[in-house]
């Protein structure tokens, strides 16, 4: 019983921490739109790079990696850098969610184990007293029912929180994907324009 109560408290703590991180992620994506993508659409790459400083981690790393390579501050391919940091960011948002999924799957069985232990206690009480009746078995049966109820409650709590956080994490990942794709598109357009300008100068 104590284990299940402690598990419930731990589940809520993990869910609140993940929820706070998801909220930061949504706020970071709003900042990306204003401070990074808007300057990029106007061709202001230096301003966009400075705007990355206002974006929260880990999303900031996605755009810093691409813009640093696009502006020549760091050698490498902007597309590969953006994709790599994007995968890392999505993984960081979905970390710890496995705890909720595992708890949702295991807690009913823990409750069932408590039920079995309670019924065994009832039979032991019958054997020790040598007689049956509700007064003899009531304590064991009540413990068994409480254990079952607590196990099911913790499982439902974990599954609901897991699904909510999975959906929120997916929403952040989709917004990040759209923004990263647009950032890379603008970087490549700038590169194409630079190549075209260089070709015209040679002619």
Q: Average pLDDT, stretch 125-151?
A: 71
User: Is the pLDDT at 36 greater than 60, yes or no?
Assistant: yes
Q: What is the mean pLDDT of the chain?
A: 86
- Whether 172 has a pLDDT exceeding 80, the answer reads yes
User: Span 102-110, mean pLDDT?
Assistant: 89
What are the residue boundaries of the structural domains of the chain, listed by start? 2-202
- Least confident range from 14-28, 38-52, 141-155: namely 141-155
Confidence of residue 198 (pLDDT cuts 50, 70, 90): very low
Per-residue pLDDT, 130: 63
- Token pair recorded at residue 203: 């002619």
- So what's the pLDDT on residue 110? 83
How much is the average pLDDT of 33-38?
94
Q: How confident is the model at residue 170 (pLDDT cuts 50, 70, 90)?
A: very high
Q: Mean pLDDT across the stretch 167-193? A: 90
Q: Give the global pTM.
A: 0.81
pLDDT in tens, 54-99: 999 999 999 999 999 998 899 999 999 999 999 999 999 998 999 9
Q: What digits encode the pLDDT tens for the residues 144-157?
A: 788 888 888 999 99
């Amino acid at each position: 019983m104590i284990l299940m109560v402690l598990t419930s408290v731990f589940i809520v703590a993990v869910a609140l921490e993940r929820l706070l991180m998801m909220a930061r992620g949504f706020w970071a994506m709003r900042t990306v739109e204003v401070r990074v993508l808007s300057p990029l659409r106007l061709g202001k790459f230096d301003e966009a790079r400075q705007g990355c400083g206002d974006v929260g981690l880990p999303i900031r790393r996605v755009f810093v990696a691409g813009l640093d390579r696009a502006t020549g501050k760091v050698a490498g391919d902007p597309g590969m850098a953006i994709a790599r940091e994007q995968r890392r960011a999505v993984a960081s948002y979905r970390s710890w969610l496995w705890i909720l999924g595992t708890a949702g799957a295991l807690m009913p069985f823990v409750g069932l184990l408590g039920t079995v232990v309670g019924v065994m206690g009832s039979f032991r009480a019958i054997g020790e007293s040598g007689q049956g009746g509700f007064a003899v078995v009531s304590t064991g049966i009540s413990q068994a029912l409480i254990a079952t109820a607590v196990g099911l409650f913790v499982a439902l709590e974990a599954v609901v929180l897991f699904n909510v956080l999975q959906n929120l994490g997916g929403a952040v990942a989709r917004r990040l994907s759209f923004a990263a794709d647009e950032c890379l598109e603008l970087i490549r357009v700038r590169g194409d324009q630079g190549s075209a300008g260089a070709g015209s100068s040679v002619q």
